[in-house]
Amino acid sequence: MSKNGIKEVAKRANVSIATVSRVLNGSAVVSEETKQRVAAVIDELNYMPHAIGRALVTHKTNLLGVILPDVHSEFFSELIRGIDQAARERSYHIIVSSTHSNKKEIESMLNVMQGGHVDGLIIMSPHISAEGVLKRLSLLSNLVFVNSYTNGAKFVSVSIDNFNGAYQMVEHLIGHGYDRIAIIKGEESNFDARERFNGYLQALKKNRIHRIPELEIGGNFTEESGYEGMMKILKLKTKPSALFCANDSMALGALRAMHEKDIIVPGEIALAGFDDVPSARYVLPALTSVHVPIYEMGTIAVKHLLDGVKAMDGMKGIKKVLTTSIVIRESCGCSLKSDEEVSEMA
Amino acid sequence: MSKNGIKEVAKRANVSIATVSRVLNGSAVVSEETKQRVAAVIDELNYMPHAIGRALVTHKTNLLGVILPDVHSEFFSELIRGIDQAARERSYHIIVSSTHSNKKEIESMLNVMQGGHVDGLIIMSPHISAEGVLKRLSLLSNLVFVNSYTNGAKFVSVSIDNFNGAYQMVEHLIGHGYDRIAIIKGEESNFDARERFNGYLQALKKNRIHRIPELEIGGNFTEESGYEGMMKILKLKTKPSALFCANDSMALGALRAMHEKDIIVPGEIALAGFDDVPSARYVLPALTSVHVPIYEMGTIAVKHLLDGVKAMDGMKGIKKVLTTSIVIRESCGCSLKSDEEVSEMA
DNA sequence: AACGGCAATGTAAACGTTTACATCACCGTT
DNA sequence: AACGGTGATGTAAACGTTTACATTGCCGTT
């Protein structure tokens, strides 16, 4: 129960605290003999340097702040995995906080994180633009945005190619011959959602298919909203031949609605989602979706934050966009295709 | 870009730093006039107290450490949600770290966390007993175990009732009339897995059903191991009439295997899992599973850690066990009586 | 013999706060 | 008029480290 600190170690080893600090950090030459003696005492006392005291003088905490909205948990946890992995490789740890996309919460978080507790910050803020977040932020550096709308060019951001993911998927559907392709969108305020919708529109345009307003349904990325969106669609006089959902949760909801109404997927209506969540593999029919490299996004964000600090101290800004890839399963109708071809030939 | 700190504030407001500190914390009487003046300067400078400096003297960081294995991410993220929510209500933030169940990693984490960075620790360590973890741990207090094997009675722990969850589920299967009930287990070293297996055994015993060794398959809580386990089962001469998997991931894997081999679930083999992950709702047939209150487990752990500190300074120890409930869906065969037959798409 | 250089270690300031204690002015008692 | 109490504020030590600078002793040169 005795006092335990660098002073105690110093006393017992008959050296000054400076020397103890030196052997602790290997920061200067210490004679082999003293080194041994100090190490022995450290071991004996089970002494651990006090991180706070150290941080006060070094201005380094080896902690990284991560601010996330709490939505879709599969995405969230995968991102954390990536961040944590990359962080620990550099012997950093992470402080996570979810903001529920509440602007005030974000500011409060930023404050906490400012107080010197973290050496850097990774922010994912799909609803609020980088500039909005940065209003009160003085530490323009040591900040990386993930999947957020960074309008000014002066930020570092890592995001996925929502636009092309959606574009390619819709083109794939068009390739199947579907001409009435519905979409269940995300919220207007959500950055990802907007981009994905744009990809959808562009694919239609490139293929000279006109937009049909009644096939553009609102949603909010929840399973529930997918279910409800589908129900709306099923009330239309002419139904679409395919449906693209702006994320997998909504696609799952839509699928549930179709099962209930005995719509055969993809026979009557083909379906595709976005995110490639684990569940996509297990539903029936397995869901065709756009794969996004979430884990990599996390590791890259950390890399930018910790490794690239020196490289970009100017106000250039870096914008890294990760490519997506479509993964074909059953729900888009690909397994039917060969049948059709066969029958056509016959 | 001028210096910015409590000193600067003090200077501009023509008071001592002590007074600034006092208005910051409301810790002592300050005249209304001074209070206003200081507040104005703080606002003008956009001053934020430096958390590290403060922590050094108060010995409080308002940070909570959370150590988790990285396995099954749905569980993981839900637990974090609960912890984070409860923490922020008490204006705490959390430091998360996953250990990959590596004993050395755990120790390293404990060290980091010891250094004064956190005010308390929540540990989930299904593979290593509390005493093992605590070897080098001096701060017996401010420590809560989640879903871990705390053999000594001197710890605070929160866990779920694995035994009874499994017991009830297997009894439910028996109630259906199934007599050959297979199990895909988790790893022997995993606490949850052991308890769930014990529940299975006990249910059989109570109902005078003999264990059949070839129906007790090893697994490791991954989807893959469920798939492989099922493949083993399907090679048996006499197949089981039902399968209980020690977690949902494995059940999902088993389901995939059965789909591939055109086994009808639950017609030919009924299926039940454990954890009630979100995906359980969306697979076909929807998976019957044991619901565990993960989120609540997180909030309760925090509650114990932060609210109950005074209550238990002795070495009594607290052991809170949260009850589980079985949620019946289609995979166990409950809907077979009147529901429409599973349409075949072969 | 005096000195410069070097290796090993000690001294003390600094980091940004909080807080026990001291100080001070003022006011009401006696 | 002297005093004690009180409310407002200042002073300085403390928290546990790191590190620039100072000190010491020794050795090899000249």
Note down pLDDT in tens along chain B; length 346 residues.
456 789 999 999 999 999 999 999 998 889 999 999 999 999 999 898 999 999 999 999 999 999 888 655 677 888 888 999 999 899 898 988 887 767 777 777 777 777 788 998 898 887 766 666 665 555 556 889 898 877 666 788 899 999 999 999 999 999 999 999 999 999 998 889 999 999 999 999 999 999 999 999 999 998 899 999 999 999 999 999 999 999 999 999 999 899 889 999 999 999 999 999 877 887 878 999 999 999 999 999 999 999 865 444 555 678 899 999 999 999 999 875 434 333 333 3
Chain-chain contact of B259 with A77 (C-beta, under 8 angstroms): no
- Asked whether residue B15's C-beta has any atom of DNA/RNA strand C within 7 A, the reply is no
Q: Which domain holds residue B15?
A: 6-49
For residue B87, the chain A residue with the least C-alpha distance is: A97
pLDDT band at A155 (very low <50, low <70, confident <90, very high): confident
Is the backbone peptide bond immediately before B49 cis, with ω within 30 degrees of 0?
Answer: no
| Positions of strand D less than 7 angstroms from a protein CB | 7-12, 14-20
- Asked whether residue B26's C-beta has any atom of DNA/RNA strand D within 7 A, the reply is no
**Residue closest to A58 by CA, chosen among B52, B249, B280:** B52
Report how far apart, in Å, the C-alpha atoms of B302 and of each of A43, B9, B151, B306 are: 32, 36, 21, 6
Protein residue at shortest CA distance from C1' of D18: A57
Please give the nucleotide, over all strands, whose C1' is closest to the CA of residue B9.
Answer: C16
State residue A345's pLDDT score.
Answer: 37
A113 and A233 share one domain:
no
Is there a domain that residue B126 lies in? yes
Pick A174 or B154 by higher pLDDT: A174
Backbone angles phi, psi at B209, to 5 degrees: -105, 130
Q: Which residues contact residue A205 at a Cβ distance below 8 angstroms, ignoring those fewer than 6 apart? A: none
Q: Which residues of A touch B80 (CB under 8 A)?
A: 77, 80, 96
pLDDT band at A238 (very low <50, low <70, confident <90, very high): very high
B167 and B284 share one domain:
yes
State residue B74's pLDDT score.
Answer: 73
Minimal Cβ distance to B98: which of A49, A63, A84: A84
Is there a domain that residue A198 lies in? yes
B115 and B129 share one domain:
yes
A222 and A195 share one domain:
yes
- What are the DSSP E strand ranges found in A87-217? 93-98, 120-124, 143-146, 156-160, 181-184, 216-217
The residue type at B293 = P
Is there a domain that residue A54 lies in? no
Strand-pair category, B289-291 with B325-327: antiparallel
pLDDT band at A346 (very low <50, low <70, confident <90, very high): very low
Average pLDDT over all residues of chain A: 86
State residue A134's pLDDT score.
Answer: 61
pLDDT (tens digit per residue) in A119-139:
988 988 877 666 665 655 555
Report how far apart, in Å, the C-alpha atoms of B200 and of each of A18, B205, B324 are: 60, 9, 15
**Residue closest to B5 by CA, chosen among A118, A143, A136, A116:** A116
**Sign of the CA dihedral with A65 first, then A106, A308, and B52 last:** negative
Report how far apart, in Å, the C-alpha atoms of A262 and of each of A223, A259, A268 are: 19, 5, 10
Is there a domain that residue B330 lies in? no
B168 and B244 share one domain:
yes
- d(CA B210, CA B216) in angstroms, rounded, equals 12
* CATH number of the domain within which A18 lies: 1.10.260.40
State residue A338's pLDDT score.
Answer: 44
Give A267's DSSP letter. T
Is there a domain that residue A188 lies in? yes
State residue B210's pLDDT score.
Answer: 95
State residue B136's pLDDT score.
Answer: 55
* CATH number of the domain within which A341 lies: 3.40.50.2300
Give A305's DSSP letter. I
**Residue closest to B280 by CA, chosen among A245, A248, A278:** A278
A222 and A334 share one domain:
yes
- Asked whether residue B154's C-beta has any atom of DNA/RNA strand C within 7 A, the reply is no
Give A307's DSSP letter. I
State residue B245's pLDDT score.
Answer: 98
- Asked whether residue A17's C-beta has any atom of DNA/RNA strand C within 7 A, the reply is yes
Taking a C-beta distance cutoff of 8 angstroms, is the pair B305, B144 a contact?
yes
B183 and B129 share one domain:
no
The domain boundary residue, chosen from B291, B306, B336 = B291
Strand-pair category, B143-146 with B156-160: parallel
Minimal Cβ distance to B52: which of A52, A76, A88: A52
B173 and B258 share one domain:
yes
**% of chain A surpassing 90 pLDDT:** 58
State residue A33's pLDDT score.
Answer: 92
SS3 A145: strand
CA of B23 to C1' of D1 (A): 38
Is there a domain that residue A190 lies in? yes
- What are the DSSP E strand ranges found in chain A? 63-68, 93-98, 120-124, 143-146, 156-160, 181-184, 216-217, 242-245, 270-272, 289-291, 318-322, 325-327
* pLDDT at residue A21 tops 50: yes
B147 and B231 share one domain:
no
State how many domains chain A has.
Answer: 3
- Asked whether residue A30's C-beta has any atom of DNA/RNA strand C within 7 A, the reply is yes
Q: Which residues of B touch A251 (CB under 8 A)?
A: none
State residue B186's pLDDT score.
Answer: 95
Is there a domain that residue A56 lies in? no
Minimal Cβ distance to B279: which of A46, A80, A278: A278
Is there a domain that residue B128 lies in? yes
Kind and range of the H or E run holding B237: none
State residue A289's pLDDT score.
Answer: 98
pLDDT band at A311 (very low <50, low <70, confident <90, very high): very low
B230 and B243 share one domain:
yes
Q: What would the mean pLDDT of A306-328 be, rounded to a whole number?
A: 77
Minimal Cβ distance to A283: which of B70, B112, B282: B282
State residue A131's pLDDT score.
Answer: 62
Report how far apart, in Å, the C-alpha atoms of A127 and of each of A123, A143, A156, A276, A293 are: 12, 18, 17, 22, 21
For chain B, the distance separating the N- and C-terminal CA atoms, rounded to the nearest angstrom, is 72
State residue A72's pLDDT score.
Answer: 59
Give A288's DSSP letter. B
A227 and A179 share one domain:
yes
- d(CA A23, CA A30) in angstroms, rounded, equals 7
Kind and range of the H or E run holding A198: helix A191-206
- d(CA A305, CA A87) in angstroms, rounded, equals 10
A39 and A186 share one domain:
no
Please give the nucleotide, over all strands, whose C1' is closest to the CA of residue A13.
Answer: C9
